[in-house]
Chain A
Amino acid sequence: GAVVSQHPSWVICKSGTSVKIECRSLDFQATTMFWYRQFPKQSLMLMATSNEGSKATYEQGVEKDKFLINHASLTLSTLTVTSAHPEDSSFYICSARGPGGFTDTQYFGPGTRLTVL
């Protein structure tokens, strides 16, 4: 199957700093990329959907200015957690999908564990 990388795999930062997480599709063109957050013992919560070259669509309750998403190319999307606070500590995971829409498989990255002190 296709490979999606995510970097870093874990990060610890101080409160008030910003953290950037990269998601790359290594062997296919990702028309659409998704960012999810997982709270302990809960499922994947969709944060936003981004299509290459256009603004991300955020889910209700997700702060656009807090979680900046950029999908500048067909192989790279970034999530920047701005002015991070301890409540932003979580597991963030991205996925990428080709141009086939809903019937295309989403390929997931390995996730990033963010801890804000």
Chain B
Amino acid sequence: DIQMTQSPSSLSASIGDRVTITCRASQGISNSLAWYQQKPGKAPKLLLYAASRLQTGVPSRFTGSGSGTDYTLTINGLQPEDFATYSCQQYYTTPPAFGQGTKVEIK
């Protein structure tokens, strides 16, 4: 099985900051990498897929990059509604696997 290692597990940031979250797969996943946003009591929301493609309706301040085993989610200009938990997921092979999540908190 592929393991997904996400870091950091939490971070504190201010409105307007640039935030970077990384995700490493235990083997290559050919850019089959998605990022999700979770808020307490709400349905998780797909933000990006194929490592860098923005899901319809997601603001362009969210960007994704990476290849092979290493991937990054960047939020450019953090907004109040962005304080949430972010998780990566590989959907390259069975079973699909998620990172442990990164909680983005207000500094």
Do chains A and B stick together as partners?
A: no
* Residues of A near any B CB (own CB < 8 A): none
